[in-house]
Amino acid sequence: MSITTLVSTCLWFLLVSRFAGANEVNVNCLRSIKSQVIDPKRSLSSWAFRNVNATYICSFIGVECWDADRDRVLKMNLSGYGLQGEFPQGLNDCSSLTGLDLSRNNFSGAVPSNIASLIPFVTTLDLSYNQFSGEIPTDLSNVTFLNTLMLQHNQFTGQLPPELASLKRLKEFSVAYNHLTGPVPEFNEALGIGPESFANNTGLCGLPMDSCIEQEEKVIRFGKMGAVIGAAVFAPVGFTCADEANVNCLRSIKSQVKDPNGYLTSWVFGNETAGYICKFTGVTCWHDDENRVLSIELSGFGLEGEFPQGIKECSDLTGLYLARNNFSGVLPYNIASLIPSVTILDLSDNQFSGEIPTSLSNITLLNSLTLRHNQFTGQLPHELSSLQRLKILSVAYNQLTGPIPKFNEQHLKIGVDDFANNEGLCGRPMDACADPDEDMIRFGKMGAAVGAALFAPLVAFLDSFVFNGRKQKQGDI
């Protein structure tokens, strides 16, 4: 046997075994899908795993291969087959899949939280018109080639993962007709995703829908209406309680702060008229004839003293403005339980000191947090980066040190001005941190780089494979 023959035999053997391996895996993929789904209409009866002909799976109904003589599944379209059961996890063996259409069936249960590892290269995913439920998994944002994502007409609940906005190739998208709530991800407007993609959900808000602040008002108003009905049923007691709590709130604020300039002299308690506290300087109510405080604006009054803890009883408060006063002392460690629904908190230009409480990260509706020009010390709690709605943040002119939390900068635009004039804040948008942690991070990164070098050949192989496949299938995707 000549050397050439030997080499080519080896090559042939290598290729065959490689394809035989792929073949096996793709067959297993379909086999496990067939065993995982319930098929009352016997739509998949053509999926028979007896044949040994290498390309037989490519003739299965709903299955399309990369090309006729290679049994790698390119796309699967099982739309309208009356299938039931959960999302078929066996799909992860169809490792070259680029399209998956399971629409118009009766699939149910949650979409797997590791979906990106099951269908990493899929460009079209259509799960519409099923009974899928639970939350839409954040991991979908890791299916980076997606250009069509259809999830409408299901039973999804919870919020939309803001990370979906990172899907750069998205062209078609819908989550209409589900039970979703909360803010819409900030998709690039150039994608032209319109309100119909989000319609008929429980309460999605933000562009292209209504603003989230209006939504919150509606929710709170609705809640209030519920309370009024409750009050009517349970006699005047419930009603008076809520009123009384808001009056007590302002009463305790007045007793807790020093007011050297007499700005709070209009705050006189004991009037029987409904909504009388709404005429107090700096107080805005939800309705003028109801003692329920919407926001408190006491900026520039020269007030002194500590953060007024009595504010807890203004339980529907959405805005608190205490800027440009002489407030001092530490912020309550449990501040989120005092002002849980506040969307705007402005404490700038005071003498507040001590650490910025981690509890602020539990005021989940916060849109704007300004703490500039105080005497805050210590580090910024990294948990602040979990505030999904934060649009404005400033902590400039304090004595803060250490790393700046890693904010999602697609939502929160941060600039140097927001962090300037502190003792030593570091990390984006300021200078990089130069502490020992940094070395750990670098070391970690180096580890990743070595890993990447090892895997590069594999990635290159996959790339060329995908590329060739694309050429053969031009116009399909």
Ligand X SMILES: *[C@@H]1O[C@H](CO)[C@@H](O)[C@H](O)[C@H]1NC(C)=O
56 touches ligand X (CB under 6 A) = yes
Among left, alpha and beta (phi > 0; psi -120 to 50; other), residue 378 is left
Least distance in Å: CB of 340 to ligand X?
A: 10
Burial class (CB in 10 A: 0-12, 13-18, 19+), 458: exposed
Binding ligand X by CB under 6 A: which of 71, 101, 290, 418? 101
Is there binding between residue 379 and ligand X (CB under 6 A)?
Answer: no
Closer residue to ligand X, CB minimum distance, 244 or 431:
244
Q: Which candidate, 275, 271, 286, places its Cα nearest to that of 243? A: 275
Q: How far is the CB of 209 from ligand X (least distance, A)?
A: 10
**309, 338 in Cβ contact below 8 A?**
yes
Smallest separation, CB 276 to ligand X (Å): 4
Binding mask 406-445 for ligand X (x = CB under 6 A): ----------------------------------------
* CB neighbour burial string for 325-349, b if at least 16 within 10 angstroms, e if fewer: bebbebbbeebbebbebbbbbbbbb
In sequence order, the 6+-apart residues with CB closer than 8 A to the CB of 298 are 263, 282, 321, 322, 325
Peptide bond into 195 cis (omega under 30): no
Tell whether residue 82 is a contact of ligand X (CB under 6 A). yes
**Cβ nearer to ligand X, comparing 106 with 385:** 106
- Binding of ligand X at residue 365 (CB under 6 A)? no
CB atoms within 10 A of CB 255: 10
State how far the Cα of 18 lies from the Cα of 215, in Å rounded to an integer: 56
DSSP-assigned letter for residue 38:
B
Q: Should residue 43 be labelled a site residue for ligand X when binding is judged by CB under 6 A?
A: no
Secondary element (H or E) of residue 174: strand 172-174
| Residue 124 found at the interface with ligand X (CB under 6 A) | yes
Give the closest residue to 312 by CA, choosing from 288, 332, 289, 287: 332
Residue tagged 């709404």 (tokens): 278
Kindly state the smallest distance separating residue 259's Cβ from ligand X, in Å. 11
Binding mask 321-360 for ligand X (x = CB under 6 A): ---xxx---------x---------------------xx-
Which contacts qualify for 191-198: CB closer than 8 Å, 24 or more apart?
197/152, 197/173
| Of the candidate residues 35, 273, 464, 472, the single one contacting ligand X (CB under 6 A) | 273
- By the rule CB under 6 A, 388 interacts with ligand X: no
Tell me the closest approach of the beta carbon of residue 140 to ligand X, in angstroms.
8
In the complex, what is the shortest distance from the CB of residue 162 to ligand X, in angstroms, rounded to a whole number? 11
By CB under 6 A, tell whether 386 contacts ligand X: no
Q: Which of 171, 279, 428, 473 binds ligand X (CB under 6 A)?
A: 279
Structure token digits, residue 354: 């001590």
Euclidean distance between CA atoms 135 and 156, whole angstroms: 6
Task: Determine, following the binding rule CB under 6 A, whether residue 248 of this chain makes contact with ligand X.
Answer: no
Rounded to a whole number of angstroms, the minimum distance from the CB of residue 85 to ligand X is 12
Measured from the CB of residue 471, what is the shortest distance to ligand X in angstroms? Answer: 20
- 130 versus 343: smaller Cβ distance to ligand X: 130
Q: Looking at residue 260, what DSSP letter applies?
A: T
Residue 139 interacting with ligand X (CB under 6 A): yes
* Token digits of residue 244: 């009384």
Question: Please, what is the minimum distance in Å from the beta carbon of residue 20 to ligand X?
Answer: 16
Smallest gap, in angstroms, from Cβ of residue 80 to ligand X? 6
The correct pick among 23, 36, 43, 59 for binding ligand X (CB under 6 A) is 59
Of 210 and 438, the one with the shorter C-beta distance to ligand X is: 210
In angstroms, the CA 91 to CA 63 distance is: 12
Nearer to ligand X among residue 8 and residue 131 (C-beta) = 131
199 in contact with ligand X (CB under 6 A)? yes
53 binds ligand X (CB under 6 A): yes
Q: String of b and e for 263-282 (b: at least 16 CB within 10 Å)? A: bbeebeeeeeeebbbbebeb
Residues for the chain: how many in total?
A: 477
For residue 99, state whether it binds ligand X (rule: CB under 6 A).
yes
Rg (CA), the chain: 30
Total residues at the site for ligand X (CB under 6 A)? 32
| The residue to which tokens 């008229």 are assigned | 273
Angle between helices 212-233 and 236-256 (to 10 degrees): 120
Is 200 a binding residue for ligand X by CB under 6 A? The answer is yes
Shortest approach of ligand X to residue 93 CB, angstroms?
Answer: 19
DSSP class of 127 = -
Complex with ligand X: residue 98 or 295, whichever CB lies closer: 98
Q: How far is the CB of 301 from ligand X (least distance, A)?
A: 8
Cα separation of 151 and 125, whole Å? 8
Binding interface with ligand X (CB under 6 A): 53, 55-56, 59, 77, 79-80, 82, 99, 101, 104-106, 124, 126, 138-139, 142, 199-200, 271, 273, 276, 279, 302, 324-326, 336, 358-359, 362
